[in-house]
A and B are shown apart, each in its own frame.
Chain A
Amino acid sequence: MGLILNRKGVAVKPLLFTLLLVTAFWLLKTAFSQVSTGSMILSMTTLETVEQILEQVKEENSEASSRGSGKKKPSIKEEIEHAKGRLSKSEYKAAKSNYKRMVEHVDKLEKYKQNPLKYDNLGLLKNAPSEQVKQKIIESRIAHLEKEIQTFYTNIIKIIN
């Protein structure tokens, strides 16, 4: 065995070395492409609080953001696009739909906060028995919209991860 290796050593060593190089190159290339398409990101950095989610959604949908000025981390929208390659068509569609609805709800929440009475469609808030009850209704309604936004966000994370 040792004799054979010794005899062919001149030819085998470079061959093994080349093979090793090719394998290493292929592994690096695969890893790089996975990172660039986002498929190696097993879980994107999740936002902890509803305030963080609101801030992020507002930031990425603001004028400044669309001009691309000084963005550091990928937006939720970008995370969805990165995940596209490893999602089924329906998963990708679901992630995008949840994102759209989340943005709409962020807008709805902002408008509600500015003027809760405007959205008191049947006058039950206006006719609340006391100012305290009125305030409680407004706060609970805000909490509900925030919960919905959080749910849309959590669903996006679950779909893309």
Chain B
Amino acid sequence: MGLRIDINEVEKALQNLLAELRKQKGDVIEMEPVDYYWSIDRDELYNPYNDPTHLTLGQLTDDLEEIKKLADSGAAPVAQDLVKISSILAALGHKTVW
């Protein structure tokens, strides 16, 4: 049986989460200098039977730039944008306390 994800639930949860984050921390959040982060190859990421071996470095400032393009110009979103935005959400989760 595969994992079942209800997009409506994810959307509602994200809305609630971001609304609370905005209430707690404001519209713009300044974080300690974090930019590069380790990223696991997608073929290895969901394989619990082997240790990941292919690590690469993502860059939050680069991800933010891509997301900004998406927000500003209405460029057509693609699946990979979910990965980029998840890195930003992860950084917000790891680096803010509330």
Contact = CB atoms under 8 A, between A and B. Distances in A.
Contacts of B76: 93-94, 96-97, 100
A124 B78 contact: no
A147 B35 contact: no
Q: Looking at chain A's contact residues, is the secondary structure mostly helix, strand, loop, or mixed?
A: helix
A15 B50 CA distance: 67
A152 B78 contact: yes
Given A140-B56, A151-B42, A97 B78 contact: yes
A147 to B, nearest CB: 6
Contacts of B62: 108, 119, 121
B78 A143 contact: no
B61 A137 contact: no
Nearest to B76: A97
Nearest to B77: A97
Interface residues of B, number: 21
Interface string A132-161: 000001001101100110011001000000
A141 B59 contact: yes
Interface string A97-138: 110110000001000000000010111110000000000010
A121 B62 CA distance: 9
Which label, helix, strand, loop or mixed, suits the secondary structure of the B interface? mixed
Of B39, B54, B57, B61, which is in contact with the most chain A CB atoms at under 10 Å from its CB?
B57
A100 B77 CA distance: 11
Contacts of B42: 151
A141 B56 CA distance: 6
Contacts of B61: 121-122
Contacts of A123: 33
Interface string B20-55: 000000000000011110010110000000000011
Given A96-B76, A144-B58, 4 more contacts: A123-B33, A141-B36, A147-B41, A148-B80
